[in-house]
Structures are given as structure tokens and as C-alpha cells.
Amino acid sequence: MLKAENIVSTTCPYCGVGCNLQLHIEDGFIYRVTSPFDSVVNHGNLCVKGRFGYDYIYNKQRVTTPLIRNTRQKPGERSQAFDRSEWHEASWDEALDYAADRLVEIYQRDGAKAMAVYCCAKATNEDNYLLQKLFRALFRTNNVDHCTRLCHAASVVALQMAVGSAAMSNTSAEVIESDVFMLTGSNVSENHPIIALQMKKAVQKHGAKLIVVDPRRIEMVDYAALYLPIKPGSDVPVFSAMAHVILKENLHNPQFIADRTENFEAFALSMEKFTPEYAETISGVDRQLIIDAARMYATAGKSAIYWALGIPESTHGTANALSLINLALLTGQIGRIGTGLNPLRGQNNVQGASDSGAMPWHYPGYQAVDREENAQRWEKTWNIEAGGLNRQRGLTTTEILSAVHPGGVQALYIMGENPMMSEPNLNHTRKKFEELEFIVSQDLFINESSAFADVFFPAASFAEKDGTFTNTDRRVQRVRQAFPPRGNARADWQIICDIAKRIEKRLGRAQTAYWDYSHPAEILAEMGSNVPDYAGIRYAAIDKTGLQTPVPTEGHPGTPYLYTNDFPRGRGKFHPLEYVPNAEMPDEEYPFVLSTGRVLEHWHGGTMTRHSWMDDLFPEALMEINAVDASGLGIEDGSPVRVTSRRGSIVLRAKVTPKANPGVVFIPFHFWEAAANILTTDAVDPQAKIPEYKAGVVRIARAFDSELTGAVPAQQRGRY
Amino acid sequence: MSEIINLTIDGKQVAVPPGTTILAAAREAGIEIPTICFHEATTSNALCRICVVEVEGARVLVPSCVAAVGEGMKVQTQSERVIRSRRTILELLESTVDLSEAPEIQQMVVDYQAVNDRFPQAEERQSLPIDDNPMYLRDYSKCILCWRCVQVCAEDAQYTFAINFSGRGYETQISTFYEIPMPESTCVFCGQCVGVCPTGALKPKRQWLLELGRTPDEIMDLTRGERRSRRRRVEPDVNEQA
């Protein structure tokens, strides 16, 4: 029996819940993970990833020494190198000098527009702050983005338009205070498992009523009072029809509307056409269910709305999110405990990476880059000459790759992300990667994107570095180094400082923007000096329990729920809405709608979980399809199928399940063997630039076993 | 009903709100009552009976984890009768279950001077560790049937209902339905059960392997990714031939 002698408290690196962990360690090996039962975030509960998913740290394929490609890659002929024989090991000095030389060469030749960076929602606030600082302060570009663009960008844009903020307004555990809560576009029991436990408890033990609006018959439907099985992309008609009913039946809150909102008349007028009958024809949801849901939501004492990526990942994602925000403003179900608007953030630190300025339109703290006073503030902090910072909005994640062409983006720095799995329309993404002149990858493994790189910086895992993550309910929590990085790997913030100094020297800058930090705490303090929401956060204050932003001053207790007295923009703004169909609608050639997403056992592009024993639990991609659709196609459970969209085609096994509603199939996007994003469309929301991952159209045909890539023996799992 | 209940525990005056358990009242007064099946995160079931106390006027010993305080109650947590009862419970556990990885219970055995061969004819519960999934092991020879794992799998946390009691009396054991392998059950491998197991009957697989003397490198060789032949990526363009 191992004695629990070395236990390190830290924060889970997987989803946005931000569970508190205790890593039990023997000689640098995590053999057991527990969680304190008095944790305010997860009350001692964890999911399979949080409890068991750390063996990737020790996977033999992990890269722990800097690598440089053997042959110089030419734009247009760049290839993927998964095999280590195509790389040579280098010292840190050699790798950093090489990368700095090439980046500076491109910058001095082509200027700021040639430079771009993908920051990382898995890395710490400090890592992200520094990487955006590097590109803004040294390369004078705002081409800084991360995967929030592919997840909640439309929610952020909509919330900023309507209330002036961009985060969950409640604490996750507050769901037990709600009388009614509506869950839409969120398979919460797989994607935010601990929040799902709190929701189940709210229903089973606290008498809350749950309304589920989702195109899949997810597990939470078992706990729902009402289930509205909408067709993908019919969110605006359904939620607007709820608003229509609330207005017609005088269930709105005139006092709240008068005191706290604006633009009500124009909004109310635009809701006229959204009758339940009209919404039924578009969404396929029985009109009576829409009426019942409207009454239930509006008449409850405390109602809250929770949503995830089913809402924003759409070409009308901003409108989808606005249709939810309108409901909260209309009924005044916001600003009190148990009421509010809650976009469940996906990654462990997507909230923090956004707060830290890993975004093309904002400096840290959502300070618009095109506002002079913001630029001046950061010029002062970073010792940059007046007018030195770029005032132009940068390119978003999706735009960065589209801009790869002569005269456009030439050099890409990727920290921890895997766009070759996570971008839509991967065949297009691949071509763009091939055209890049220089790629730096900073990661743990040679994943599908790093394989394209010229130089690879081996980074430390979450257990090998210090820092902070900000979870979905805005709680800033400590990440602690449990043991030194494996091999020659180094913490991201140290790598960034080292390359920044080299770049600064080569550029011959008169003054340094400052890169001599001795600990991440100093980095957070620098950020906090210009970001009011983080101004009061000190490592000592979050040693045991994290604080929820805004934390404006030292000693401030944090802010569990938002908008008690006013909204950050003053009044909440109603937005009139119109129904806009998806970029692609099913037709005879492509009769099925494809939704993509995650499964419980895996994480996004799979860099972590597919190098873990988690892969033994869920070893291959499965396409979920309804029994009626399956029998129409002559498909049985486990049959190989070829799924084809206008962009590409993959082969995988079918999973016949009642979780899929007729006409809609679902494929997780973790598996390179059958990458769902080969199929997805890169059509984006015009305001938020977020792609429509949740509603491409496909056709499905039987395939042969021999066409499967990386097939494994079928595994029986009870939970599906 | 008064807002505050007054009682004495081991002669000490204690005042607590109505509905408080005797265990909670005692802990508030700084009086320690031993527990085994009790856990702050699960519903108390009074299964193990180690927390029994003597209440003046009560016919039998009272399990303090579930019994609520009453006005004027006189509680003895260390009476001769209580101590004999606890000692017997520990001796019964010792005689049938492998407690080698339950340090807290071992300490109780010492504290209560339980005799480890009080029941020499007892049949030990013997079973081989069940290794049916990549995440955790189940070794029911160490199981004391405290029920915590079943509770957190059910309504105390996960609402997954993958495990429950099977069998009766001595044959009672924690099991999946029809003893199917864990992956075929509704288990989601959250490991809440592993987190609350007090005796090491449930254990992460990597911990188990490490304790068997395997090195981290050897353990990592057991992953599927290492086992399977290294098939490298197929160019997605190949798919377009169809």
C-alpha cells in the first residue's frame, strides 16, 4: 500500500468546471487523484478525465526535448512529420535562436501582418498574457486568437452587445437555488459532468424544474419536466416564440423592462411574427411545448438559462444567444441569486485566456484595441514608444488561416492548440498549413498540427508548472507544480520569456517590454495592474479557494453572481431578431444534419486523452444515428458507414441509439482516424466569426470494414 | 418546538439545533466518536454500528450518525457496553475482511484492544481482484460493505446506478447487475466510488500496478496506444477517392 505522503492541490486541466484536485504522487508519478469534499466547486466529485486522465504526462510518445525539422520546409510543399526520424533533437539555445531568427526575418521582411499566434485555452492566464504580449509588443500585430473563436465567440459577442460582459452570470453550484432552469445546446453530463451532477441534484433534491431544448436526446432529458427536440438551427424561432407567448400572455416584467433595459418596443414588434405555430413549422417542436416552456420559465420565482456550444457554433450564433438574453431581460430573470445567463465555457481556461487578451480585438480585460486610450495604457505598461502598438483589429482564428497567402500571414506560432483537428473544413485547413512559411509549435506531443511545424518546443504539463486557471464561473484558481517537467520540457511562460528576449534583441528595441519574471505571480500582477477585474487577485488570496472575478481590490471577496444593480453597459439592451436558416439545409443529396461535439472520455483534438488510458475506454469514433434512419439506410449497430459532405468524406462505425433524433446524426471530433471536421463547414457567423460546427449536411452510405482507419474490435459499453 | 436542544454528552452540556445528529453534536463539543461507514458526502445509513452510543433510558445502543438529539438526553460515548460493542464489531470485521489497507480501522483495533483471532473458525471473505476496465480495480476481499460506493454512484452524487448490493447475509457483496463487467454497466468511470472507499477495496489501476512493483514506464507500456502497431496517419485526401 502506498502511503499518501506527497499530495499536491491543483486545478483540473480539462473542462471549464475547474474542479479542485489532489494529486497523489510517488517519484513524480501521479498514481491517484482525489478531491477535497469541502471544495466549493465540485464537492469532492470528479469525472473520468479528472479522476484518471493524467497518464498522458508519462506517455512515451511525449516530446521532452526541443526538436527542429531535418529538412527546411518550403511554403506550398510543407509536409507533416509524425516520425521522430524526420526531426533532430536540439538544445534550447539552438531551438530558440532558430525560431527567433526565422520569425524576425519574416517580420522584418513582411511586417506585422505576416505574424499570427494561436494562444491556448488549456494554458494558464500567465502563459496567455505573455504570448499575446509577445506578439503585440514585439511584432506589433493583433493577429492573436485562440479556440474561444471556435466555441463561445458568439455568446461573448451577444453578451457584450446586450449586457456588456462575457461570462456566466451565476456560480455553477447556484443551480440548486433556481426554481426553473433551461438547458440548451449543452450535453452537460458529458461535457461539464460536475455541473450535470449539480443540475441532477437540483431536480431530484431541490425540486427545480428542468427544460431541455436540444436536437439530441441527451441524458439530462431523463431529468427534464419539458423536452423540446428542436431541429438544429431553429433556436431563434423557438426562443423568440417563447418571448412571443410571454408578451401575449402578459408574463413579462414591466418594472424590470422599464428600470433596467432599453430598445424594448423594437424588440417586441419583431417578436410579433414568431408565433408558436410558425416556430413549430421551422423547429419541428410541438407548439404546446413551446407555450408550456414559456409559461414555466416566465412564471417561476427564479429561472436561469444554461447553454453551451449548440447555441454559438452556428452561422447565426450571435442571434441564437441574443434570443436567450432577450428572454432573461423580458422576464427580469437575471441579477438575483438563482437567475441569470450562463454560457458554460468549454476549456479549463477559456474564460481566463479571453480575460488575458488572447483575442484579436481586445487587450487583456476586453479593452478594445482600436480605442486610443487602451493602446496608450498598454504602451506605457510595456515600455513601447507612443503610437507603437497596432490599433487595427487583428484576425480571428478562422481568418488567420484564410489569410495564409503571399502578402498575408506567413508565420504561425501555436501554443497547445491543434487546429488540424479543431478547425472546420480540415482539407482546406491542411492546404493553408502547407502554404505557411514558418510554424512554431509548443506542445506535449507531435499532434496533427505540430507535425507541420519547423520547430517544436516541449512544454510542461499542467502538473509541472505554476499559474492560474479561470473557470467557467469566473473563479481564478491556482495551478501548482507537483514535480519538475519531464526531460528538458519547460513551462510555457519560461519558453515565451526566453524567445521574447531573443526576438527583442534581434529587433534592436530601445527599451525592453520586460521578460525577466521569476515567478508567474509577477505576471498576473502586471496584468492585474491594467485589468480592473483581476486587480485584487494575489496568489496568497487564492491559495486555498479561488476568487470569482470581478475582484477589483485586494481583500475583495469576489463576485458570485453578476448584474445585481446594473449591467456593465448600463441598461440591458433588447435585440430584435429575424430567423435565418443555417448555411446548409438538408436536401435530397445531403439529407442528414451533422452535429459534432465531444464525448465524456475524450478532450477536443485528443492530444491529451488519446495518449491516455482514456483511449482504451472509448477507442474509436462512432456516428450516433436514430434506429429509424439506420434501418432506412440498411445500417445496423456497428456497421461501417461512409459519411460525405460537400467538403470531404470519412468512414467510421455507426452507433444506433435513441440519443439521436431522426434526421440528425452526431460525430465526435476527437479522432484523427475519422476526423469529423473534414466534414464541417467553414461558413461563419458574420459578427462573431464562429464556424457552424453543429449543422452541416451529409449523406450516409454503407461502407466496408476494410475502409475503416485504425479500426479496433467492437467494445461493448453499457452507458450508450 | 424550541430552537435549541439541550443535552449532555459524557457529562458535558451541549446545545444544538433540533435535527442535529448525536454524532454531529458530539463533534461540535469536541468529543470524538469513531465512524467507519459514515462520510460527510454521503447519506448516513447506520450500517457499520461502530458509532453506537448509550442513551440513558434507551433499550439498545443508538447509532449516533443517524439518531437525532433530544431534549434532556444523556449520552455516554465511552461506556463499558459501548466499548464492548465496538470491540466486537472490529473483531468480526477482522475475522473476515482484509483490513491491511484500512489504517483508520487498524487504529481502532488497537484503541479498542480488539482480539484478532476472537473468531478463529470464521470464514474469510476471499475473492480475486476484478480487473475489468482500464481505470480502477475492485478487490472485494477488502470490502467491509460500508455502502459508500453504492451511495455516490446513486443519489449522493453521480445518479449512475451501476452498482448495488448483491446476495444476502454472508454472501452479500457489491456488484454490477448480474456481475457484468464494469464497461458493460452504466458506469461512467467517474471514480467517486474510489474516492470514498475506506479500505482500498477500490483502487486506481495505476496505483495497483505501482504497488505491485511495476515502474511507471512499464505501466505506460500497457496503454492501448503502445500495444497497437504504430499505424501512422492516413492523408485525409485519400478519403476523397471514393
Q: How far apart are CA A187 and CA A692, in angstroms?
A: 17
- Phi first, then psi, for residue A383 (nearest 5°) are 55, 45
Assign A125 a pLDDT band (cuts: 50, 70, 90).
Answer: very high
For chain B, the domain total comes to: 2
Do B143 and B63 lie in a common domain?
no
For residues B241 and B158, give the distance between their C-alpha atoms in angstroms, rounded to a whole number.
46
Q: Are residues B140 and B222 in the same domain?
A: yes
The residue-averaged pLDDT of B52-72 equals 97
Residue B238 lies in a domain: no
Is the per-residue pLDDT at A191 higher than 90? Answer: yes
Q: Cell triple for residue A121?
A: 485555452
Residue B168 lies in a domain: yes
For residue B73, give the nearest of B3, B21, B28, B1 by alpha carbon.
Answer: B21
Min Cα–Cα distance to chain B from A61, Å: 9
**Residues B102-160: pLDDT tens digits?**
999 999 999 999 998 899 998 888 889 999 999 999 999 999 999 999 999 999 999 99
Give the residue on B whose Cα is nearest the Cα of A61. Answer: B226
Nearest chain B Cα to A34, which residue? B195
Residue-wise pLDDT for A192-220, tens only, equals 999 999 999 999 999 999 999 999 999 99
A95 residue type, one letter: A
Q: Do B200 and A1 touch (CB under 8 A)?
A: yes
Instruction: Give a yes or no: residue B32 inside a domain.
Output: yes
Residue from A25, A31, A86 to probe the interface with B (highest B Cβ count within 10 Å): A31
Per-residue pLDDT band for A720 (boundaries 50, 70, 90) equals: low
Residue A3 to residue A5: CA distance in whole angstroms: 6
* Amino acid B238: pLDDT: 37
Tell whether the model's pLDDT for residue A560 goes beyond 80: yes
Q: Cα(A448)–Cα(B142) distance, rounded to whole angstroms?
A: 45
Residue B1: which pLDDT band, with cuts at 50, 70 and 90?
Answer: low
Contacts of A718 in chain B (CB under 8 A): 162, 180, 183-187
Q: By the 8 A CB rule, do A604 and A614 touch?
A: no
Q: Per-residue pLDDT tens for A50-60?
A: 999 999 999 99
| Stretch A586-612: mean pLDDT | 95
Tell me which residue range forms the domain holding B44.
Answer: 5-82
Of B41, B133, B187, the CB nearest to A43: B41
CA A450 to chain centre: 20
Whether the pLDDT of residue A481 is over 50: the answer is yes
Q: Per the domain annotation, does B156 fall within a domain?
A: yes
pLDDT band at B241 (very low <50, low <70, confident <90, very high): very low
Disruptive mutation site among A6, A22, A39, A52 for chain B (greatest number of B CBs within 10 Å): A52
Q: What is the pLDDT of residue B237?
A: 37
Quick one: B141 and B213 in the same domain?
A: yes
pLDDT digits (tens, 9 = 90+) for B168-184: 988 999 999 999 999 99
Q: Kindly state the cell numbers that stand for B226.
A: 503502445
pLDDT of residue A230: 97
The dihedral through the CA atoms of A536, A541, A545, A546 has a sign that is positive
> Which residue from A24, A80, A613 is facing B135, i.e. has the nearest CB?
A613
Residue B103 domain-assigned? no
pLDDT over 80 at B226, yes or no: no
User: Could you give the maximum distance between any two Cα atoms of chain A, in Å?
Assistant: 71
Residue at a domain's end among B18, B51, B82: B82
Q: Taken in order B77, B80, B85, B86, is the CA torsion positive or negative?
A: positive
Q: Do B232 and A717 touch (CB under 8 A)?
A: no
- R_g of chain B computed on alpha carbons: 23
pLDDT of residue B233: 40
B70 and B146 in one domain?
A: no
Write the residue in B159, B220, B240 that is nearest to A55 by C-beta: B220
* Cα nearest neighbour of B41 on chain A: A37
Domains, chain A, in order of start with CATH, read 67-150+349-548 (3.40.50.740), 153-344 (3.40.228.10), 592-707 (2.40.40.20)
- What distance, in Å, lies between the first and last C-alpha atoms of chain B? 79
Report the mean per-residue pLDDT for chain A. Answer: 96
Is B188 in contact with A716 (Cβ distance < 8 A)? no
Indicate whether B63 belongs to any domain.
yes
Output the domain CATH number for residue B159. Answer: 3.30.70.20
Mean pLDDT of A601-616: 93
In the structure, what pLDDT confidence band is assigned to residue B235 with cuts at 50, 70 and 90?
A: very low
pLDDT digits (tens, 9 = 90+) for B190-221: 999 999 999 999 999 999 999 999 999 888 88
Chain B residue with the nearest C-alpha to that of A57: B220
3-state secondary structure (DSSP) of residue A131: helix
> What is the structure's pLDDT at B50?
97
Per-residue pLDDT at B236 exceeds 50: no
pLDDT over threshold 80, residue B229:
no
The 10s digit of each residue's pLDDT in A254-300 is 999 999 999 999 999 999 999 999 999 999 999 999 999 999 999 99
Instruction: Please report whether residue B204 resides in a domain.
Output: yes
My answer on whether B219 and B155 are in the same domain is yes
Contact B135 A59 (CB under 8 A): no
How many other β-carbons are positioned within 10 Å of the β-carbon of residue A428?
16
**Do B207 and A32 lie within an 8 Å CB cutoff?**
yes
- Percent of chain A with pLDDT strictly greater than 90: 95
pLDDT at residue B234 is higher than 50? no
Per-residue pLDDT of A626-645, as tens digits, reads 999 999 999 999 999 999 99
B70: domain CATH number?
A: 3.10.20.740
Please give the pLDDT value at position B224: 62
Whether the CB-CB separation of A397 and A144 falls below 8 Å is answered with no
Q: Is B161 on the interface with A (CB under 8 A)?
A: no
CA of B160: which chain A residue's CA is closest? Answer: A719
Examine residue B71 and state whether it is found in any structural domain, yes or no: yes
Contact A52 B200 (CB under 8 A): no
- 3-class secondary structure, A436: coil
Listed residues B82, B104, B122: the one ending a domain: B82
Query: Would the pTM count as exceeding 0.90?
Result: yes
Residues B213 and B144 in one domain: yes
Residue with cell 487577485: A537
